[in-house]
Amino acid sequence: MQARDADAATRLYDLADVLRPWAIRAAATLRLADHIMAGCRSVAALAKASHSNADALHRLLRYLETQGLVLEGPAGHYALTDVGAALADNHPAQLRSWLDQEGGMGRADVAAAGILEAVRGGSPVYDHFFGLPFWEDLEGHPDRRRAFDELMREQLELPAPHIAAAYDWGDVRHVVDVGGGTGALLAAILEGSPHARGTLVDLPRTTEQARALIRARNLSDRVSVVGRSFFEPLPPGKDVYILNIVLHDWPDTDAISILRRCAEAASPSGRVLVIESLRSLDGNYLASAMDLYMLILFGGRERSLEQLDELFQSAGLRRSRVAGTVGDRSLIECTTIAR
């Protein structure tokens, strides 16, 4: 075998290695980085802290050392490398909870093993592994649901003030956040627009968290919370209906249904503000990986502006403008087509 062929084969084997991602997820789930930081450095101490078999854990640690996450020092005591330290709960990147096999996304990672079937059939495969679609399965496991909600809270609350500042709310009297989660975005909008009122629509379980956040932000007198699905009729006649990172979770038929509910509810001069990532999928690792995850889990997808336009048209909407960007998210303003 020539050197170039050998290098290519080595690279391919490295890319295809299935053990590394699961070993790292095992370390995240066992909280090994946190235990080492807390002073548990021997195999015995780590096994006790993580409720693991000592011999099996030692074998895992040896493998993690070959991957550059830990270092074995004198007396068999383990230390973290900079990479291994990124698995700690208090690390700024907050990766541990995403990799926790008992957390909100643990089963999602398992479903990735069905990528072949998803590609052949063009449909989600999560239910093939766990018997139910992702959302229904999550609802049946309260602990994982809470962990998932916490992951999503971080994703939605951090950019909320920036999204609120990226759009002109001056003539908006009432805004409806459709699938608004904990209410962070709606609260940020209303705090910057004291003339406006708001309504948050989400499933009843989620609205409990939203009410708590709204009370904490002293906005209860300006916000109504409605516990229902966004596939049901929405509060009618308001000025702006927001869909913040909602559509990419759904296949086209469902995305059109959600948009149509917004179009039906909007006043004649109302608007629908769709917030989605418009990153190119060509050569973009993060965007293309998210696109595959959406397929595997929900049958959703990352969409281009042209693909969103097709959904808007089918739902009785037309894009009026891209009103702003926040990071990789675009604020796409739509109006209703005259009926």
Assign residue 49 the CATH number of its domain.
1.10.10.10
**Is the domain of 191 the same as that of 324?**
yes
With CA atoms as reference, report the closest residue to 150 among 105, 215, 186, 93: 105
Backbone angles phi, psi at 326, to 5 degrees: -135, 110
**Residue pLDDT, tens place only, 7-23:** 888 888 888 889 999 99
**Is the domain of 248 the same as that of 168?**
yes
Residue 339 pLDDT greater than 60, yes or no: no
Backbone angles phi, psi at 45, to 5 degrees: -65, -40
Considering 100, 123, 138, which residue would you say is the last residue of a domain?
Answer: 100
Residue 281 pLDDT greater than 80, yes or no: no
Query: What is the model's pLDDT at position 143?
Result: 85
**Is the domain of 172 the same as that of 277?**
yes
- First CA to last CA distance, the chain: 68
Query: What is the model's pLDDT at position 337?
Result: 86
What is the mean pLDDT of the segment spanning 317-321?
95
Residue-averaged pLDDT of the chain:
92
For β-strands 240-244 and 174-178, DSSP reports them as parallel
Interhelix angle 54-66/43-50, nearest 10 degrees = 110
With CA atoms as reference, report the closest residue to 28 among 100, 85, 91: 100
What is the mean pLDDT of the segment spanning 144-173?
87
Q: Judge whether 2 lies within some domain.
A: yes
**Is the domain of 172 the same as that of 321?**
yes
Higher pLDDT, 281 or 74: 74
Query: What is the model's pLDDT at position 1?
Result: 65
Helix (H, G, I), strand (E, B), or coil: what is residue 31? coil
Interhelix angle 19-29/54-66, nearest 10 degrees = 120
Q: Judge whether 196 lies within some domain.
A: yes
What per-residue string of b and e applies to 305-323 under the rule 16 or more CB within 10 Å gives b?
eeebbebbeebbbebeeee
Task: State the Cα–Cα distance between residues 322 and 302, nearest whole angstrom.
Answer: 17
- Copy the structure tokens of residue 12: 């391919």
Task: State the Cα–Cα distance between residues 207 and 73, nearest whole angstrom.
Answer: 50
Residue 4 pLDDT greater than 80, yes or no: no
Query: What is the model's pLDDT at position 253?
Result: 96
Determine contact, residues 70/64, Cβ cutoff 8 Å: yes
- Count of beta carbons in the 10 Å neighbourhood of residue 42: 14
Considering 100, 126, 160, which residue would you say is the last residue of a domain?
Answer: 100
CA–CA distances in Å: residue 215 to residues 156, 208, 210, 219, 294: 18, 11, 9, 6, 34
- 49: domain range? 1-100
Task: Find the catalytic residue in 51, 128, 162, 248.
Answer: 248
What domain count does the chain have? 2
Claim: this prediction has a pTM higher than 0.95: no
Query: What is the model's pLDDT at position 338?
Result: 67
**Is the domain of 47 the same as that of 188?**
no
**Is the domain of 90 the same as that of 166?**
no
**Is the domain of 279 the same as that of 181?**
yes
Q: Judge whether 51 lies within some domain.
A: yes
Catalytic site residue 248? yes
**Is the domain of 90 the same as that of 192?**
no
Q: Judge whether 141 lies within some domain.
A: no
**Residue pLDDT, tens place only, 163-219:** 999 999 999 999 999 999 889 999 999 999 999 999 999 988 888 888 999 999 999
Residue 153 pLDDT greater than 90, yes or no: no
Reported as a pLDDT band with limits 50, 70 and 90, residue 318 is very high
What is the mean pLDDT of the segment spanning 316-330?
92
Residue 2 pLDDT greater than 80, yes or no: no
Percent of the chain with pLDDT over 70: 99
- Copy the structure tokens of residue 132: 């139910």
Backbone angles phi, psi at 226, to 5 degrees: -115, 120
Q: Judge whether 310 lies within some domain.
A: yes
**Is the domain of 161 the same as that of 300?**
yes
Alpha helices in the chain (DSSP H): 3-16, 19-29, 32-37, 43-50, 54-66, 82-85, 96-99, 106-111, 115-121, 126-130, 134-139, 142-157, 160-165, 184-192, 204-216, 252-265, 285-297, 305-314
- Copy the structure tokens of residue 161: 């003030």
**Is the domain of 73 the same as that of 189?**
no
Determine contact, residues 248/294, Cβ cutoff 8 Å: yes
Task: State the Cα–Cα distance between residues 271 and 172, nearest whole angstrom.
Answer: 10
Residue 6 pLDDT greater than 90, yes or no: no
Residue 335 pLDDT greater than 70, yes or no: yes
Task: State the Cα–Cα distance between residues 31 and 13, nearest whole angstrom.
Answer: 28
